[in-house]
Amino acid sequence: MAKIIKVGKKNSQYDVVIARNAITKTISSAIKSYNKILIVTDDGLPKKYLAEIKKLIPKSKKVYIYILPAGEKSKSIKSFNLILENLASLKFDRTDCLIALGGGMVGDITGFVASTYLRGIDFIQIPTTLLSQVDSSIGGKTGINISQGKNLVGAFYNPKKVFISLSYLQTLSDKEYKSGLGEVIKYAFILNKKLHKILKSNTGLVLSRDLKILEEIVYAHVKISRSSFLRMNLSMERGRY
Ligand SMILES: NC(=O)c1ccc[n+]([C@@H]2O[C@H](COP(=O)([O-])OP(=O)(O)OC[C@H]3O[C@@H](n4cnc5c(N)ncnc54)[C@H](O)[C@@H]3O)[C@@H](O)[C@H]2O)c1
């Protein structure tokens, strides 16, 4: 059964759906009001993920794909500009939507494009790395890098929905999995005893990427990220951020 966590406030509140496979028929209801869809992804992802999503999108929708080269270099002004030009030449308007399928790199740049094209169109996040599932897809931080530094240009802009499929984590390289795990461990030590306990008592299962344990970890972490996001929102309202 999918778990759903509500993130954000009032009009910009959205559901984060967490399941072993969250990309089921529910995706068709999330996109039913849109006419055209541009899926932004990168070439490091197993091809089957894109194919699975395309299969679930009703034939009545026009679906376009934009594939970035994998890696941080793609989170650039150049890619940002190319995606915007692509949207404009396809005549995307506010009845249309973007889908970010990938890790934090794809999520950040797609969210930033969505926040700026026509002063904001809808986007959906489908995070596929551990880091993006527990952190970068939650909280609405979008952006790109410039030569002076990482994430120097960006916007706070919430997605309409986040679909977290834990099964995506099975194909992640050890390096990427451990990088996400590092983030989880950091949060567990600093902020959350429950998450710390889950990690400590299930080391073997965590390392073997057991889906049940991953579900517990991601669920607990998204709840922590959501609370930090709420605190940040309050601080922004009070002019402290
Ligand atoms: N917005 C935020 O709040 C926030 C928070 C933390 C990090 N970030 C950003 O996130 C980015 C890093 O994200 P990341 O760690 O997810 O890396 P990434 O997006 O660069 O992905 C890493 C690699 O994993 C591959 N990949 C993705 N999903 C896969 C899967 N399921 N199976 C196999 N391969 C897969 C990608 O193709 C890529 O080669 C940075 O740009 C960072 O600034 C943003």
128 CA → ligand 1 middle, Å: 8
**pLDDT at position 28, please?**
85
Nearest-angstrom CA–CA distance, 49 and 67: 13
Whether 233 is covered by a domain: the verdict is no
175 CA → ligand 1 middle, Å: 11
Whether 221 is covered by a domain: the verdict is no
Pick the atom of ligand 1 nearest to 105's CA: 19
Nearest-angstrom CA–CA distance, 189 and 217: 13
Does ligand 1 come within 6 angstroms of the Cβ of 166? no
Residues whose CB falls within 8 Å of the CB of residue 4, separated by 6 or more in sequence, listed in order: 15, 16, 17, 18
Q: Is the pLDDT of residue 47 over 90?
A: yes
pLDDT category of residue 213 using cuts at 50, 70 and 90: very high
Q: What is the CA radius of gyration of the chain?
A: 17
According to DSSP, the residues that pair with 15 across neighbouring strands are: 6, 161
Nearest-angstrom CA–CA distance, 83 and 75: 11
Pick the atom of ligand 1 nearest to 150's CA: 43
Q: Is the pLDDT of residue 222 over 70?
A: yes
pTM of the model: 0.95
One DSSP character per residue, 219-241 reads HHHHHHHHHHHHHHHHHHHTT--
Least confident of 2-16, 143-157, 208-222: 2-16
153-174 per-position pLDDT tens digit: 999 999 999 999 999 999 999 9
- Give the C-alpha distances (Å, rounded to integers) separating 234 from 134, 174, 221, 237: 21, 37, 20, 5
53-68 per-position pLDDT tens digit: 999 999 999 999 999 9
Does ligand 1 come within 6 angstroms of the Cβ of 127? no
Least confident of 26-35, 138-147, 208-217: 26-35
238 CA → ligand 1 middle, Å: 32
Whether 103 is covered by a domain: the verdict is yes
Residue 235 CB burial class (10 angstroms; 0-12, 13-18, ≥19): exposed
One DSSP character per residue, 23-39 reads -STHHHHHTTT-SEEEE
171 CA → ligand 1 middle, Å: 13
Contact by Cβ (8 Å): 133, 64:
no
Whether 133 is covered by a domain: the verdict is yes
Mean pLDDT of the region 179-207? 92
Phi/psi for 234 (5° steps) reads: -65, -45
**pLDDT at position 236, please?**
57
133 CA → ligand 1 middle, Å: 9
Report the nearest-CA residue for atom 36 of ligand 1. 44
Nearest-angstrom CA–CA distance, 23 and 128: 11
Whether 35 is covered by a domain: the verdict is yes
Beta strand 62-68 with 14-19 is unpaired
Contact by Cβ (8 Å): 172, 129:
yes
Q: Is the pLDDT of residue 191 over 70?
A: yes
**pLDDT at position 218, please?**
96
Q: Is the pLDDT of residue 131 over 60?
A: yes
Beta strand 97-102 with 141-146 is unpaired
- Any idea what the CATH number is for the domain that residue 48 is in? 3.40.50.1970
Whether 177 is covered by a domain: the verdict is no
Report the nearest-CA residue for atom 33 of ligand 1. 172
- Give the C-alpha distances (Å, rounded to integers) separating 176 from 93, 128, 169, 205, 220: 35, 11, 9, 17, 20
Does ligand 1 come within 6 angstroms of the Cβ of 136? yes
Q: Residue 135: what residue type?
A: D
The domain total for the chain is: 1
In terms of residue numbers, what domain contains 42? 3-169
